[in-house]
Amino acid sequence: MRAANQRKNALAKQPSKTNAPAKQSKTKAKAVSTGDAAAPPDDSDFILRSLQTEFEEQKRFNATPEQMLKFYEQMLLIRRFEEKAGQLYGLGLIGGFCHLYIGQEAVAIGLQSALDNDRDSVITGYRDHGHMLAYGIDPKVIMAELTGREAGISKGKGGSMHMFSTEHKFYGGHGIVGAQVALGGGLALAHKYNEDGGLCLAYFGDGAANQGQVYETFNMAALWNLPIVFVVEDNQYAMGTASSRSSAETRFHRRGTAFRIPGMEVNGMDVLEVRAAAEVAFKHVREGKGPVLMELNTYRYRGHSMSDPAKYRTREEVQEQRDTHDPIERLKKTLIEGGKSEDDLKAVDKGIRKVVAEAADFAETSPEPEASELYTDVLVENY
């Protein structure tokens, strides 16, 4: 057992997050808590660091050139789609709340590319456009939902925050912060109950991570050994609140400790690192070993939603993230090192811009829902 502890301590001392976005405000919390949260020394199956250890042995996924190009295309599609959505919002074509995923693309692509889409399910909050695009769902029906048109994936009745595709086992699209975590626990319960071999990937934010139901779910998921991967998308802010102002422990991967859920800390700005971590986590869950908690360190470039006072962080901070941690630029560099030319990648961008422009045209020109749709889908049956 000593060996295990020594290993844990050694890991704790390793400089972590070399490439992850800087968390200036976390340094203090980190200094205080490093080395704590240790297992009782006599507990032989206390394995909370084992997944991290395995992940750190091979931190970047060994992608084929085809896989790598695909990741690039998918991330770029999310970026361009979200930029266009922001533009349509400015034109009044999209209303209400619209939360963009720009900056966080590597998280959804890295994780979801490792799913078995025939079996696994995904659930998230209101910042959901990217997770849908990661499935390859037609950008047209997503954009048409944003503009509230009949052709939208929720017939225009859900909007940006409430999109679903049961066909893909994507369960939304939820507007109440934290609700998706317990719902994800239920999806995992169904996987286990049906013995379908699937797992649930449940995303939530650093702000959502403080909701009580998250911990109620952690307990039940661990107690019942549910096949679920909890993913904290730590983009460092919940609206205007930096995580250090709302969270006593900002190293979110440690928060499963009390429930014996192993944690992983991942640079969410590197799609290959995210994918490598996903491989380790999903394998653990699929082997029937219960839930995993992943902390994906990332950054949101845009405002929380379209209306954002932008006074809680400096422009320099945002610029620094874009300049030095951008997930798309990072992969581009890897691709170019692997022999792709700037021109190849420019052509990819051009193709994606075309797809997005078509989606926007479609979303702008397709008709609004029929008035009769107001009363449909309230209940399934007639009574």
Ligand X SMILES: Cc1ncc(C[n+]2csc(CCOP(=O)(O)OP(=O)(O)O)c2C)c(N)n1
Q: Contact at 8 Å (CB) between 93 and 171?
A: no
Stretch that binds Mg ion, among 202-210, 256-264, 327-335, 358-366 (CB under 5 A): 202-210
From residue 109, give the alpha-carbon distance in Å to each of 146, 169, 172, 343. 21, 16, 16, 23
d(CA 308, CA 304): 6
Tell me, residue by residue from 108 to 137, as one string, x for binding to ligand X by CB under 6 A and - for no binding. -------------------x----------
Q: Indicate which single residue of 175, 197, 240, 369 sits in contact with ligand X (rule: CB under 6 A).
A: 175
Examine residue 47 and tell whether it contacts ligand X (CB under 6 A): no
Listed residue (198, 202, 60, 191) closest to 123, CA to CA: 202
Interface with ligand X: number of residues (CB under 6 A): 15
The entry of other proteins, ligand X, Mg ion, none that residue 166 binds, CB within 5 to 8 Å by partner kind: none
| Pairing relationship of beta strands 121-124 and 200-205 according to DSSP bridges | parallel
Task: State whether residue 241 is helix, strand or coil.
Answer: strand
| Phi, psi values for residue 81, rounded to 5° | -60, -45
362 CB-near residues (< 8 Å, 6+ apart): 140, 143, 144, 151
Examine residue 177 and tell whether it contacts other proteins (CB under 8 A): yes
DSSP state of 17: -
CB of 132 to ligand X, least distance (A): 15
Using the structure block, give the residue that is written with the tokens 């930029």.
Answer: 83
Q: Indicate which single residue of 122, 146, 177, 274 sits in contact with ligand X (rule: CB under 6 A).
A: 177
Examine residue 154 and tell whether it contacts Mg ion (CB under 5 A): no
CB of 66 to Mg ion, least distance (A): 33
In terms of CB distance, is 145 or 206 closer to Mg ion? 206
Tell me, residue by residue from 282 to 321, as one string, x for binding to other proteins by CB under 8 A and - for no binding. -------------------xxx--xxxxxxx--x------
Q: Which helix (H) or strand (E) holds 264?
A: strand 263-267
The entry of ligand X, other proteins, Mg ion, none that residue 131 binds, CB within 5 to 8 Å by partner kind: none
The entry of ligand X, other proteins, Mg ion, none that residue 361 binds, CB within 5 to 8 Å by partner kind: none
Residue 99, CA atoms < 13 Å, CB-side half-sphere: 20
Stretch that binds ligand X, among 202-210, 220-228, 260-268, 358-366 (CB under 6 A): 202-210
Q: Indicate which single residue of 21, 139, 205, 256 sits in contact with Mg ion (rule: CB under 5 A).
A: 205
In terms of CB distance, is 238 or 277 closer to ligand X? 238
Stretch that binds other proteins, among 6-14, 56-64, 127-135, 368-376 (CB under 8 A): 368-376
CB of 360 to other proteins, least distance (A): 10
* N- to C-terminal Cα separation, the chain: 63
Tell me, residue by residue from 87 to 116, as one string, x for binding to other proteins by CB under 8 A and - for no binding. x-xxxxx-xxx-------------------
The entry of ligand X, Mg ion, other proteins, none that residue 127 binds, CB within 5 to 8 Å by partner kind: ligand X
Write down how long the chain is: 383
Count H helices and E strands in the chain, helices first. Answer: 14, 8
Tell me the two tokens of residue 194: 């049906």
DSSP state of 34: T
Task: State whether residue 188 is helix, strand or coil.
Answer: helix
Kindly identify the residues of this chain, within the stretch 206-235, that bind ligand X according to CB under 6 A: 206-208, 233, 235
Tell me the two tokens of residue 334: 């890897």
Q: Contact at 8 Å (CB) between 51 and 257?
A: no
Q: Indicate which single residue of 304, 325, 330, 332 sits in contact with ligand X (rule: CB under 6 A).
A: 304
Q: Indicate which single residue of 158, 184, 262, 290 sits in contact with other proteins (rule: CB under 8 A).
A: 158
Q: Indicate which single residue of 238, 272, 276, 345 sits in contact with other proteins (rule: CB under 8 A).
A: 238
Listed residue (66, 68, 62) closest to 331, CA to CA: 68
From residue 49, give the alpha-carbon distance in Å to each of 3, 74, 196, 278. 13, 31, 28, 15
Residues that bind ligand X (CB under 6 A): 127, 175-177, 205-208, 233, 235, 237-239, 300, 304
